[in-house]
Structure 1
Amino acid sequence: PKTLRLKSILLDWLMGPADRPDALLDGLREEALPPIGIDPVLPSDMPEPHHSPIFINNAVYGTRCSSVVAIDKDGRGLFIERRFTAAGEAAGDTELTFAWPIQRTDGVFA
């Protein structure tokens, strides 16, 4: 279920202006379990239920970072990572840009 939800978030982003890759981090922060017609798993000794949300807010076993890598048609890339505390609070972002060589149809790398 969370993979289908992530695909939906990505598709919505791609069908829009797709100008802010960091907006995808909002989708990676979703704590609600997508409605799939399955009752939530009862509490157990397992830290993560089989059907879990995208973002797991748990001090012992939880999401500690989310990353997005985006590359445009010209090979310009952006890597964004958001870190989280054990309490699930954003603790900082790192952004790195890079250039990925793109081979044109004439065989020359741009």
Structure 2
Amino acid sequence: MCVVAIALDCHPRWKLVLAGNRDEFHAREADPLGRWAEAPQVLAGRDLQAGGGWLGVSEEGRLAVVTNIRNPDGPDPAKASRGALVGDWLIAGKAPEMAALPGFNPFNLLLTGRDGATLLSNLPEPQRVPLSAGIHGLSNGHPGEPWPRKTSMEAALSGWIDRDATPEELFALLRDESLLDDGGVPIFIKAPVYGTRCSTVVLVDHQGQGSITERRFQPDGSDAGEVRIDFRW
């Protein structure tokens, strides 16, 4: 994932609302949202190059989403896949030990479970921060670093809550191609080589009834399919 906003315990109907875009090379193969064969309780897409995930939920009451932190030199192939962090949490509720965080390329990892929500990151140093009720954003900067895409998504989700808008409007927010002031990168990136591959919305109400919906896109921005799976926590 490259831009995500999540609202925790701040909506009269929804206990959790997440909206995010995954940006990736279009040539990098991935499975769409679905149940994982070895762990059917996991509802997530899957990167077929490294085998991990980028965003998903477990019917056992967990959610995970990871974003990379931009590195001008690119990822170190000798380090562990960041997508494995998502799989470990969704399959077994296993969060990484602090000492293990430097072994991954720079990342932000947001985990939610029955004990609350936590943000982990390894840049500029390993850190684990509990998240309170409210709106939180992730993008390709480290926690606390100004990042226009993250700020824009947080503001858009806040406005959605204030308007008590429909879930469908979350997908409209994720399709925003307006240029931002971070070098002209919009929320939705339409480009032939690297761009927004899918948009995902997760909604869980205060009774634990939830859904995860993924819309996929072609390099030209046209629709490439949609999957929705309902679940209960």
Query: Same fold, TM exceeding 0.5?
Result: yes
Which one has more relative contact order, counting CA pairs under 8 Å at least 6 apart? Answer: 2
State the Cα distance separating 1:12 from its structure 2 match.
1.2
Q: What is the 5 A alignment of 1:1-110?
A: 1-18=148-165, 20-34=166-180, 36=181, 41=183, 52-100=185-233
User: Which ranges in structure 1 are unaligned for 5 or more consecutive residues?
Assistant: 42-50, 101-110
Cα distance in 2 for partners of 1:8, 1:65 equals 21
State the Cα distance separating 1:13 from its structure 2 match.
1.2
Deviation sequence 1:63-109 (CA, Å, 0-9, x none)? 11010111111111111111101111122221111111xxxxxxxxx
Deviation sequence 1:15-46 (CA, Å, 0-9, x none)? 1224x323211111111123x4x7xx4xxxxx
Cα distance in 2 for partners of 1:33, 1:2 equals 10
Instruction: State the SS of the aligned residue for 2:168.
Output: helix
How many residue pairs end up in the alignment? Answer: 86
Cα distance in 2 for partners of 1:33, 1:72 equals 33
Cα distance in 2 for partners of 1:78, 1:22 equals 13
Flag the structure with larger Rg: 1
Determine the structure 2 residue equivalent to 1:45: none
Instruction: State the SS of the aligned residue for 1:22.
Output: helix
Identity %: 41
State the Cα distance separating 1:59 from its structure 2 match.
1.0
TM-score by length of 2: 0.35
Following superposition, which runs of at least 4 residues in structure 1 exceed 4 angstroms of deviation? Answer: none
Name the amino acid aligned to 1:31.
E
Higher strand share goes to which structure? 2
Cα distance in 2 for partners of 1:9, 1:62 equals 20
Alignment root-mean-square deviation, CA:
1.6
